Structure 1
Amino acid sequence: MAEAAEGKNNRLSASEVGKALRAGKPVTLKDGGSLSLIVTGKNAGKWVYIGRKSGDRTNIKLICGYAPETGLSAARAKRDEYRLLLKQGINPNEQRREELAEAKRKKQEAEKTFSVVAGEYFRIRKDMTEKTRQGDMGRVENHINPFIKNIPIVDIRRKEHLKPIIDKLVAREAHTQARRVAGLIERIFSYAVDAGYIQGTPADHLTRLVPRQGRGEMKHHPAITGKEEAAAMFRKLWAYMESGRSGPSIVAAMRLSCYLPVRNGNMIAARWEDIDLKKGLWTFSQTKNGRGYTVPLSRQMKEVFAALAMFRRGAWCFPSGSNTGHVSNGGLIKVLRAAGIPQGEHCLHGFRSTFETLALEAGIPKLICERALFHVAGDSTEQAYNRAEYMEPLGLVLQWWADTVDALRDGEDVPPMPEKLIAAYR
């Protein structure tokens, strides 16, 4: 009986199949067991099995492969596989469609990495100021992407992926930055929920991972303020910058961090339209206190920009391949550490403290120091005073400071307070 069934179901031979395919004439060859070879052209055909689900009288057409790639024995094996599925009440065509849909869904999920979703978030946030956008993009680049940049958003977990990001910042006692990064992550994941990429967010209340600081616990930014220590720091920085281990953009930004006591977030986002080398002016359209400022360029700052201008490309003064298009604070911090300046000893913001301490020690008026730091100084009358009136003394102080940096670096005496300042503020 088994042999009779075998002969009834398997009527074709491999030679018959090969002969029909070589002939190429449209024909249907029945193998039995509802399996047929439909020849569609020279050396071209497809294996078709007609079956029914258990308890259903509707015929289902199933493709068992394409000839000659799929041979006779392989087509029979596929038919038997389909026959078993139909007995179980499964439609292989529907199963295949579901498998393809699932594969497509997984592919789409894999493509929606954190970095991709963060990019979408920034594109839709038209309400952001450019300063806020650049700050948040810098946080993604420096503090978040190193951990989860290429992980699909659906696979990111709170404990495994997000908590370590915040923990690292807290361990550095960078509590303010930790809160900002946590809040940014919360907003990006909320967008992912709204966009339908994830069902729920693992970032809810992520800011709670940042310890609360009691009154009086706020710590100052670490800064080198002594002359000897500052001299050693500048020597280390210049030795590193002249070693060729960093590109021209990051080196130029680092030199200007030393020469100009400006907040680095304002400096690194400088555009060429902000720089007037002929007049020797650098304009900052908006700073932390909401005001715009213009500062005179010292001789050293002019030299830095003149060198950068020789290789100018695009709008940014300090271009890079980052998402922001310009160098980041993180890149400058890496220079500090690579130059051998420890984390707890000095930070980027510390250059402002270095300037103010040494400037006040040299007798530079507090009002001009505050102006150089972009602080709102003085009483209401002084604040209302035409800020252009401070340009000359500000220029003198900034040139004094650039010369002081060079003198400390080269082991020379700090230059005295400029004579014109002495006369004006006697």
Structure 2
Amino acid sequence: MALSGTLTRKAVGVLGPGRHGDGNGLYLVVDSSGARRWIVRLTITGRRNARGGPLRTDLGLGSVSLVTLGEARDRALECRRLARKGIHPSERSERVRPTFEEVARRVHEERLPTFRNAKHGQQWINTLSTYAFPQIGGTAIDRIGQPEVLACLSPIWTSKHETAKRLAQRIKTVLDVARSRGLREGENPVTAIREGGVLPKVRARATHHRAMRWQDVPDLYARLRERDATAARALMFTCLTAARTGEVLGARWAEIDLVRRLWTVPAERMKAGAEHRVPLTEEMLTLLGAQEPLGSEVVFEGQKRHAPLSNMSMVMLLRRMGIEGVTVHGFRSSFRDWAGEAGAPREVAEMCLAHRVGSAVEQSYARSDLLERRRRLMEEWSRFVASRG
């Protein structure tokens, strides 16, 4: 007989997006897409997570379309009984295997400390939640074959090809882990689908950020000088530093060393995951001097106190100025083209862009970031960009 709780069968079908508790660790999760599923929150007795704390986990119990409220309560009760004995339900030895969603969430939980940041970890499970769980989340892990994988991949294989490739890799990882733990046997169906050419080939188009000709950058910079707005100064700083939009907008005064004339972007904000030092030129220091009196924690503050400008602020500024056909990211290309024309050594120009230079072996021996050589090149670039003023 099923236990009682706070939810009702009617509520299960009408509640909006969010996590709705039934009691005793059981939750109804309603995704923004409208998909509805059950999870139970557990603490595994005597088990520790990667940080040494108690092992807590959210375990999927299946879709609402497959599992009734009463069944979800029964399953949650059984999971709690196992957890109190120190057994993770996804490792139980009964004949009934855990579901794909159960194993996937366990894999995600175990790998959280290995992701570069929390955002990437969330993206990993979000891809499965959006495209895999609605199709195969409630299917036993040992029943997942090519038809089940294709049910997830086929609908988005051509329309969202990059997403589909990431989804395939994440499904493969879950199934590989399941096999290593004795939860399934045989070849991974994702591998079979790839090697068999089951899905159509999709020609990926190379996309490039549209860049302004380097010869035209000084004229733009002169026009920006006439504007007394944070967005204009942020765009000027972006042009001068050849940094990415997110790096500039996320810049904080704690990263700026005015004495040593350095802006040190921490690894967690860099695409390559490595700290990047940007030499500050006289022109850059002038821009920073105009922002410093605002007393914000961030260099380029937006509408909210101590919060940066929006990602679209510089793009919208270009549009208001009637400049079409270029992107903010494209100014990195403008700098690189100028550097090539100026005869700058390739490794110096590439390091200005925070690109890795050489093979993995060469990188392992490259201890210097060529700061002083980069400083001289950035000074030349700054003088060129500001030459119309």
Instruction: Give the TM-score of the pair, scaled to structure 2.
Output: 0.49
Higher helix fraction (1 or 2): 1
Max Rg structure: 1
